[in-house]
């Protein structure tokens, strides 16, 4: 289906729910609410999945480190959701081996770690209950020194004893996975709109919120949209939305924000995640991604305005130093092809350091703040976004005093992900699209799933669109698809969130010009707008 912008297309102006925020939390709430029979409108002030949801480590995991805090319920929930996401989004989520080396001067109790590994396996007792049998995960293993070096030759070898070898999942393109939730919501009738900020709230005579005023970022057109409830899924910006709703009344509630930075370098490790302990007891990971190494993350509290947040060279140097201190392969700034960062919302009443703070979540009825008609969602992590949405629906059901239809989100594929057996699907794709390179078929088939047939059809329909524009086989046809089918409105949308052309660093002047020219042709940009869009993309790479 084609994803349309409600602010452009029009439609009803009264809904059961208005959701503010189109990150993974808002997307999941919109999908589950629409699937359970509620009328839903979702508004995102920029692009879907473009902030916190894009600044992840690209992992779907149980949160092994939360066991140290005794958060068994959170770990069990995460492990269950890990399996479910692997089922409902099989082309995006894949098993990934982890290597956790143990050193003689390791900060911690080796026996406690061993017990933790057994507990991790125990809590994921249903990990083999997968729709696609290739997604089954093995239990952990403790491998000796010799095998550890054979698995990862670039480890720091001094004082190395052995290593734990275990499995979690990787999400190969979190931005497109978030978009799959948005598309799934739209298939159930949700009205969605990116680049549509909420400028204000509508109140009844009793000061209860009864809707929002929204504005099209590009045209300035405004519209009033009414609803029974407003769901604040602003994430890092949730307290700003609350303050807007409160008006002159002061709201003491504050979102605690954690900064997370990642860098991407040439490949420095194998086809597994290397988890290394830092001097402060925290961990840093070196992860395989698109034949590069994704390294991160920092995890420290951020106290400024989220709108002013930028990746700092100081944080990048911190990652470089941790790699060079704890890994056998040294890196420098010159090895970095790209860096990105974002802010994670944490629950306000947590007072520990950011790394020790869990990724638990809270669902608040803002009536306690004197704001009637609004529910705010805070905290959480990408892995548990679906179950968080289910908890939000429980609160919504009580607030609306409505019995909702049965939940379906754990047993239905997301939009474009209707693939029972990935291996067989890929075999068929290679047979059906022999006129494209193996790299192109692999990349497009996995990132577009069943919708890949449309991308290939566009490429076959015009030889210009069959041009390869990245090392892993991406095509100009993806740009056409992003604009025609996925509400891509800017060059950054296309290069960073619909395609991966710009996510491995600056793609270069030639590729940028080709994509920008095609986007300008399709979206009606004049030369000035095209230059502005190009400059906006280049700011992403200005750090170096």
Q: Which domains does the chain have, with CATH numbers?
A: 6-52+175-255+359-400 (3.50.50.60), 85-171+256-346 (3.30.9.10), 422-540 (1.10.8.870)
Query: Cα–Cα distance between 428 and 437 in angstroms, integer?
Result: 14
List CB contacts of 321: < 8 A, sequence separation 6 or more: none
Q: So what's the pLDDT on residue 354?
A: 42
Is pLDDT at 243 greater than 70 in this prediction? yes
pLDDT band at 250 (very low <50, low <70, confident <90, very high): low
Q: So what's the pLDDT on residue 218?
A: 97
Q: So what's the pLDDT on residue 226?
A: 98
CA distances from 284 to 72, 89, 101, 325, 543 (A): 22, 27, 12, 11, 22
Query: Cα–Cα distance between 213 and 200 in angstroms, integer?
Result: 5
Is pLDDT at 212 greater than 50 in this prediction? yes
Is pLDDT at 167 greater than 60 in this prediction? yes
Mean of pLDDT over the chain: 92
For 137-147, what is the mean pLDDT? 96
For 386-392, what is the mean pLDDT? 95
pLDDT band at 53 (very low <50, low <70, confident <90, very high): confident
Q: How far is CA 258 from the centre of its chain?
A: 16
Q: How far is CA 382 from the centre of its chain?
A: 6
Is pLDDT at 495 greater than 90 in this prediction? yes
Q: So what's the pLDDT on residue 251?
A: 67
pLDDT band at 350 (very low <50, low <70, confident <90, very high): very low
Is pLDDT at 331 greater than 60 in this prediction? yes
Highest mean pLDDT pick, 101-105, 167-171, 310-314: 167-171
Q: So what's the pLDDT on residue 109?
A: 67
For the chain, percent of residues with pLDDT exceeding 90: 77
Over the stretch 6-44, which tens digit does the pLDDT of each residue have? 999 989 999 999 999 999 999 999 999 999 999 999 999
pLDDT band at 355 (very low <50, low <70, confident <90, very high): very low
- Three-state DSSP at 382 gives helix
User: Which is more confident, 279 or 97?
Assistant: 97
* Lowest-confidence pick of 191-195, 304-308, 430-434: 304-308
For 105-124, what is the mean pLDDT? 84
Query: Cα–Cα distance between 183 and 189 in angstroms, integer?
Result: 10
Is pLDDT at 2 greater than 90 in this prediction? yes
For 142-164, what is the mean pLDDT? 95
Is pLDDT at 146 greater than 50 in this prediction? yes
The number of CA neighbours under 13 Å toward the Cβ of 446 is 20
For 119-126, what is the mean pLDDT? 96
CA distances from 465 to 289, 449, 451, 528 (A): 26, 19, 17, 24
Is pLDDT at 100 greater than 60 in this prediction? yes
Q: How far is CA 256 from the centre of its chain?
A: 19
* Lowest-confidence pick of 30-39, 82-91, 374-383, 508-517: 374-383
Is pLDDT at 292 greater than 90 in this prediction? yes
Query: Cα–Cα distance between 168 and 140 in angstroms, integer?
Result: 10
pLDDT band at 358 (very low <50, low <70, confident <90, very high): very low
Is 299 within 8 Å of 377 (Cβ atoms)? no
Query: Cα–Cα distance between 247 and 376 in angstroms, integer?
Result: 16
* Lowest-confidence pick of 275-284, 295-304, 349-358: 349-358
């Amino acid at each position: 289906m084609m994803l349309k912008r409600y602010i452009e297309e029009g439609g009803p102006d009264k809904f059961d729910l208005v959701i503010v925020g189109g990150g993974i939390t808002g997307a999941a709430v919109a999908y589950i609410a629409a699937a359970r029979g509620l009328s839903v409108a979702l508004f995102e002030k920029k692009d879907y999945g473009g902030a916190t949801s894009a600044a992840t480590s690209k992992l779907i995991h149980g949160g092994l480190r939360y066991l140290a805090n005794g958060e068994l319920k959170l770990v069990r929930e995460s492990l269950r959701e890990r399996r479910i996401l692997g089922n409902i989004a099989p082309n995006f989520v894949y098993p990934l081996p982890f290597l956790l080396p143990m050193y003689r001067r390791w900060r911690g109790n080796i026996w406690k770690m061993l017990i933790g590994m057994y507990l991790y396996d125990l809590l994921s007792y249903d990990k083999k209950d997968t729709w696609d049998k290739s997604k089954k995960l093995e239990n952990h293993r403790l491998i000796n020194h010799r095998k550890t070096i054979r698995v990862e030759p670039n480890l720091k070898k001094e004082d190395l004893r052995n290593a734990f070898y275990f499995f979690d999942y990787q999400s190969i393109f979190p931005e497109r996975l978030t978009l799959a939730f948005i598309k799934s919501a739209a298939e159930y009738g949700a009205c969605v709109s990116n680049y549509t900020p909420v400028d204000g709230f509508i109140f009844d005579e009793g000061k209860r919120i009864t809707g929002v005023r929204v504005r099209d970022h590009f045209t300035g057109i405004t519209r009033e949209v009414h609803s029974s409830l407003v769901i604040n899924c602003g994430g890092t910006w949730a307290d700003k939305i609350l303050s807007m709703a409160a008006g002159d009344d002061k709201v003491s509630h504050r979102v605690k924000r954690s900064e997370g930075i990642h860098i991407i370098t040439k490949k420095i490790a194998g086809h597994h995640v290397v988890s290394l302990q830092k001097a402060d007891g925290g961990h840093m990971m070196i992860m395989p991604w698109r034949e590069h190494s994704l390294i991160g993350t920092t995890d420290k509290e951020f106290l400024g305005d989220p709108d002013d947040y930028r990746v700092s060279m100081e944080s990048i140097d911190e990652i470089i130093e941790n790699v060079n201190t704890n890994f056998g392969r040294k890196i420098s700034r010159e090895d970095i092809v790209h860096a990105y960062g974002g802010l994670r919302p944490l629950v306000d009443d947590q007072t520990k350091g950011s790394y020790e703070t869990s990724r638990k979540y809270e669902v608040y009825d803002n009536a306690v703040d004197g704001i009637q008609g609004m529910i705010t969602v805070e905290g959480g992590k990408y892995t548990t976004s679906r179950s968080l949405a289910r908890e939000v629906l429980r609160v919504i059901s009580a607030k609306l005093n409505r019995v909702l239809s049965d939940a379906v989100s754990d047993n239905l594929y997301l939009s474009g992900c209707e693939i029972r057996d990935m291996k067989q699907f890929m075999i068929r794709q290679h047979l059906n699209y022999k006129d494209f390179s193996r790299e192109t078929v692999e990349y497009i088939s996995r990132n577009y799933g069943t919708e890949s047939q449309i991308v290939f059809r566009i490429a076959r329909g015009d030889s210009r669109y069959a041009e390869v524009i990245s090392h892993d086989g991406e095509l100009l046809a993806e740009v056409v698809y992003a604009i025609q089918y996925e509400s891509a409105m800017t060059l950054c949308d296309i290069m960073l969130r619909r395609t991966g052309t710009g996510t491995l660093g600056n793609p270069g002047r030639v590729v940028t010009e080709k994509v920008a020219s095609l986007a300008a042709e399709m979206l009606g940009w004049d030369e000035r707008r095209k230059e502005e869009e190009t400059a906006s993309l280049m700011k992403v790479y200005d750090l170096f």
